[in-house]
Structure 1
Amino acid sequence: MYPPSVLLLATVLVLLVSRGTLGEEKPKLYSNQWAVEVVGGEAEARKLAQSHGFSYKGKILNGIYLFEHRAVFKRSLRQNLQRHQRLRREPTVRWLEQQEIRRRVKRDLRQKRTIEFSDPEWSAMWYLHNPNNLDMNVIPAWEKGYTGQGVVVTILDDGIERDHPDLERNYDPDASYDVNGNDPDPMPRYNPSNENRHGTRCAGEVSAVANNDVCGVGIAYNSHIGGVRMLDGDVTDAVEAKSIGLRPQHIDVYSASWGPDDDGRTVDGPASLAKKAFEDGIREGRGGKGSIFVWASGNGGRDEDSCNCDGYTNSIYTMSVSSASERGNIPWYLEKCSSTLATTYSSGSGAERQIVSTDLRHRCTESHTGTSASAPLAAAIVALTLEANPNLTWRDLQHIVVRTARPDNLNADDFTTNAAGYKVSHAFGFGLMDAGAMVNLAERWQNVPTQRVCSLSAMNRQTSIPASNRLVLHKTTDGCKGTDKEVTRLEHVQARLTITAMRRGELQIYLTSPSGTRSTLLDHRSRDDSTSGFNGWEFMTTHTWDENPEGTWTLEINNMDRHAGMLKEWTLVLRGTSESQGSHGNPHTPHPQLCTQTDSNGVCIANSAVRLTVWSHGPGCCLTPLVTLICCLVVALQGVGPF
């Protein structure tokens, strides 16, 4: 019999092993594949791979190729430095990286008008035709003739059942690929649990054929739909990059309903190749107008996760989409953060309805859930908007979403109005996407000027974050006035932070603009016991959209831990445009579809029913509450539409 002290020690060790050592990061797992940048093109890459005993697996991005070595373990806790160093010494090799297997999880949950369709599930699609106007206003876009015609949407996921009777007519093989199997066919792998149904469900929301007596109706039911099978296997940086960078001159919209673990303790995002794929897509995709990346904001709400700790949703290049339940409530899985742009409907409590779509084995479902279901709905609305105006850039689309999203009927107690007049929430972004308003605005939209970037180092030395206390820092800026980086009207704002902390989850971080708009960059995450802190992490906020950045910005870091931390870097990155670039003529007031006259600042001073008087406070000013109330009442009485 062992003494009690030994039994106690054994129990503690078992608990530590099962939970992971306090503050320890998950171990890295390396594959037998290398991404290699080679001078000399594909022929040189093939020759190089063969000379070092590698198999050549194809091109990832321009100039970057995938090599695989059969003598190396497919999964290993250690890098194979010997082969890495040999390859690196080759004069034609500019860069190489042994591919790390990265954990990525699918973001589903396991658990009045006269338009009618013959599809049997149409009546269950409450989020498209709700008699109480609690829908995404899609029918007016359809009534104008917009159905996604000519727009190509690709689902990055676990495959797509291309022969599904509700998808087959719209399936586009040129927008599809099997990255896991390295072949052109994205058909999912079938098993008894149907675990690879995710991509097919997402595809049906976008492009299910209308009036064919099968399942339901896709929002963009005449769009071309493709699928990339990339989640049904080891996910590496190369896998992600090849998927994100697939045929950017053919594919318009990429929809992704996956990301790092939503466990409330992970901080992760795209690695070097995936970052390059995003940048290439934004710079070169769609003939230079930029690929559109729509991303599900995550399902970690129950674990107090923050979508600002997800480098995909936190990116300026993605449209991060949240979920609202049928009743307009915050679902239990929702992650709050300042990078969320807008919201579509999805599942909620057990009593609320879910999303209709196509399912594996030629079936239909009424139970697609989570932010996984929200992102494809957003991608489909984007497809309608691109049909209305194919010349929109990636930034134009974000502007249109901000200006037309509807915060009404969404129940969140943190909605605030920024200095440009937009209501915005950490739960729902700027509100529910409105397809009718988006296509109306797109029809007359003028491209915004080139984005400018004003980057400011906000501190001169490392600063302690006191234990059980807070650190407050200020940075005054003129927005790089008088330079070619000048910004007077904001889009995205980033705070690049390097922080050491004994327990990362005990940090809360806030950024307040000169106009007083306060963004929660990071909230408390009780499960995050990592000691890694943040290393150059770029926290992003959309909440100051269209504000003027000139003035004093305030960074506040609350440290709830009993150990002090250290702020090593704070760089404030202001992105937007300048008045010196000229006016692009677009309205700068919420819900411009109701406006018939604007002042020189783009502020609405009249609609079709009444002339409004506005007290102007300079660029970005907004209607007074009284005038806004009058406008709303007139609109409601005349039946102009949702406000």
Structure 2
Amino acid sequence: MFSSTQSAGTAGIDLNVMSTWQSGISGKGSLIGIVDDGVLLDHEDLLPNVQSGSINFLSGSNGLSSNDTGGSLANHGTAVAGLISARGGNSLGVSGVAPCSQFVAYNYLSKSTDANMTTALTTNKDVYVSNNSWGNVDGSGDFKSAPSTFFAAITSGLANGRDGKGTLYVFAAGNGAGTLGEATNFEVDNSNYDSFSHHYGTISVAGVLNNGTRASYSEKGANLWLSAFTGRDGVTNTALTTTDNIGSNLEWGYNPGDGSTAYPISTSYNLPDLKYNNSFNGTSGAAPQVSGVIALLLEKYPNLTWRDVKKILAKSAKKINSSHSSWILTGQSYHFSNVFGFGSADATAAISVASTWSTLGGSSSLKTFSYENSTQQAIPTDGSSLVLSAVISGSGITKIESISLEISSDHSNPGELVMALQASDTIQMEIHEKHNCYSGPKKTLPTKNCSSLSKQAYSISGFLDYPANGTWKIEIKDAVTGTSAGNITYYKLTFYGS
């Protein structure tokens, strides 16, 4: 959607898909798993790409068959599906990024049990890309752990999906960065606080606007991998146009047409065709664009493993908003930002990089090495830093693909802490920033102490291709002097790579 109150997008700030499409690549043969609240499978612009195998976890209670994920709850997933797989070239509606890809849908968000999550993420081993435009509730600032079944499911899908080449798991980075307009300028959520988006095998996607600037709600994080495009508020400003859920009483979807529902959108600025909407946004809209790019890449090069794809996307990403202060040039010549990841997804560049690629192998050849320390060490209260040094040797990893840090502290309010990981070359990545936590799920005042750190995990993406051997330093500072005291009681660094 374009609004006259906002400037048009910047030329070249896009997914760079046109030349890929013109070369005949449209996602054919790539199967997407859409894990969401459901998808209207008989939507006119989605139906040609629906493959059998969708699962309705509400079957029996919503009046739909076990393979029909539509219904009144399927608003979000229907919009997501259109961004990936709306059928282009059919004189209808819109085109997804991979307009000839196929998809199956799982309405896990409509019945969110651990068992349903495992089924949605792993049951179909033919799925190329699992799109997950969800995570923990935004806006509390607190640390949120996923159940152990989640990590087991992702690890299983990486190892067993696509005949051992691995399913790609794409996750929205989260929309909780807002500050509540308080006197402080500290952001609320960080993508690294949400453990659904920081597994070493996932691709966490931040949101940027059509001029390359950060979407104000898009969460930062050392775990970010890529950025893709989204909108502002979708009412008076730019947003994404995609497929919409429809119901007989004009009461479903983001474009209900009457302006009186939970989505108060009138036809004065939405679309007259209620099967489509132009008001979708958030990192929920950014993630499926990356899923679409991966579908294009895997049509051309279906033998790429999940590790290959992740690294190709990093190497081919476009550095956007290049003057932004968050950009770091690493010792391995990658540009990385805890706002944009390695940059915005670029379909044509990814296919070019893949054309000469030598495989890294799949999960079976991924090396891991861990270092842990349980010595209690005090965090200074005078504003100076505690520096924990981990000397790594004999790891066998010469090129890191991801780093995980688990840390425990008895500090009564870890929201006061600032933490960073530093490599031997002194390049440093921020993994935790001072912030407030809130008493309610939607950035609700008043503030409260953040939950304690008990083997709280963080993921760090930016040290791609570094050797694991060397001296790594964890710098920890209490940014509020003279208040709560505390100690670091445990930390563990785990390196993944080759």
Give the TM-score of the pair, scaled to structure 1. Answer: 0.65
**TM superposition shift of 1:517:** 1.9
- Quick one: which of 235, 238, 241 aligns to 1:353? 238
Partner residue of 1:161? 40
Say which SS state the counterpart of residue 456 (structure 1) adopts: strand
1:167 and 1:209 in contact (8 A); partners too: yes
Task: Provide Cα deviations, 1:476-532, integer angstroms capped at 9, x if missing partner.
Answer: 223x2xxxx411111101211112221121121110111222111111121253464
Alignment partners' CA distance in 2, 1:441 and 1:270: 34
Higher relative contact order (CA 8 A, sep 6+): 2
Counterpart of 1:557? 476
- For 1:247-266, what aligned pairs fall within 5 Å after superposition? 247-248=124-125, 250-266=126-142
The residue aligned with 2:77 is 199
Question: 1:438: which partner in 2?
Answer: 350
- Whether the 8 Å CA contact 1:330–1:412 is kept in 2: the answer is no
1:416-460: per-residue Cα shift (whole Å, max 9, x none)? Answer: 100011111000000011000111222332211522112112x35
Following the alignment from structure 1 to structure 2, what is the Cα–Cα distance between the partners of residues 504 and 266? 10
CA spacing shift, 1:299–1:563, aligned 2, 3 Å: same
Partner SS, residue 278 of structure 2: strand
Q: Does 1:515 align with 2:438?
A: no
Alignment of 1:53-452 (within 5 A): 132-174=11-53, 176-181=54-59, 184-190=66-72, 196-233=74-111, 235-248=112-125, 250-303=126-179, 304-348=188-232, 352-361=237-246, 363-409=275-321, 412-449=324-361, 450-452=365-367
CA distance in 2, matches of 1:165, 1:264: 39
Residues 500 and 532, structure 1, Cα contact 8 Å, conserved in 2 = no
Looking at structure 2, the residues matched to 429 and 332 of structure 1 have their Cα atoms a distance apart, in angstroms, of: 15
Judging changes above 3 Å, is the alpha-carbon distance between structure 1 residues 310 and 460 closer, same or farther for their aligned structure 2 residues?
closer
Q: Contact (CA 8 Å) 1:515, 1:547: kept in 2 or not?
A: no
Tell me whether 554-563 or 363-372 shows the greater mean CA deviation: 554-563
- CA pair 243-555 structure 1, distance change in 2 beyond 3 A: same
Paired residue type of 2:468: P
- Counterparts in 2 of 1:619-638, with a 5 A limit? none
1:8-40 CA-to-partner distances (Å, cap 9, x unmatched) read: xxxxxxxxxxxxxxxxxxxxxxxxxxxxxxxxx
Work out the CA distance in 1 between the residues paired with 2:324 and 2:285: 20
Alpha-carbon deviations, 1:186-222, whole Å to 9, x = none? 43332xxxx6310000000111111222111111111
The amino acid of 1:369's aligned partner reads: N
Aligned equivalent of 1:117? none
Match of 1:456 in 2: 371
CA offset digits 1:66-116 (Å, max 9, x no partner): xxxxxxxxxxxxxxxxxxxxxxxxxxxxxxxxxxxxxxxxxxxxxxxxxxx
Equivalent residues of 2:142, 2:451 under 8 A apart: no
**Structure 1 410/232 Cα, relative in aligned 2: closer, same or farther at 3 Å?**
farther
Of residues 533, 541, 554 in structure 1, which corresponds to 2:460? 541
8 Å CA contact 1:418–1:547 kept in 2: the answer is no
Cα distance in 2, alignment partners of residues 294 and 186 from structure 1: 23
CA separation in 1, counterparts of 2:84 and 2:282?
16
SS at match of 1:573: strand
Task: Tell me the secondary structure at the aligned position of residue 383 of structure 1.
Answer: helix
Unpaired runs of 5+ in structure 1? Answer: 1-120, 578-643
Q: How far, CA to CA, are the matches of 2:237 and 2:464 in structure 1? A: 33
Distance 1:181 1:462, change over 3 A: farther
Quick one: percent identity of the two aligned structures? 27
Which residue of structure 1 aligns with residue 379 of structure 2? 465
Q: Is the 8 A contact 1:237 1:272 kept in 2?
A: no
Distance in 1 between residues matched to 2:15 and 2:471, nearest whole Å: 38
Matched with 2:249 is none
Q: Alpha-carbon deviations, 1:530-587, whole Å to 9, x = none?
A: 464122122111111112233221111112351111211111212211xxxxxxxxxx
**Structure 2: which amino acid aligns with 1:299?**
N
- Secondary structure of the equivalent of 1:259? coil
Aligned partner of 1:568: which letter? T
Cα separation, 2, equivalents of 1:337 and 1:541: 8
CA RMSD of aligned residues (A): 2.1
What secondary structure sits across from 2:160 in the alignment?
helix
| Distance of aligned partners of 1:181 and 1:504 in 2 relative to their CA distance in 1, 3 Å threshold | farther
Distance 1:468 1:357, change over 3 A: farther
Task: Tell me by how many angstroms 1:322 deviates.
Answer: 0.6
* Letter aligned with residue 344 of structure 1: A
Q: How far apart in 2 are the matches of 1:203 and 1:412? A: 32
- Measured in 2, the distance between the counterparts of 1:549 and 1:526 equals 33
CA–CA distance in 1 between the matches of 2:457 and 2:51? 36
Where 2:152 maps in the other structure, the secondary structure is: helix
Rg (Cα) greater in structure: 1
Question: Retained in 2: the 8 A contact 1:148–1:380?
Answer: yes
- Going from structure 1 to structure 2, the CA distance change for 1:327 and 1:130 (only over 3 Å counts) comes to closer
The 5 Å alignment of 1:470-619 reads 470-478=385-393, 480=394, 485-527=395-437, 529-530=448-449, 532-561=451-480, 562-577=483-498
In structure 2, the gaps of 5 or more residues are: 180-187, 247-273, 439-447
Number of residue equivalences: 439
3-state DSSP class of the match of 1:258? coil
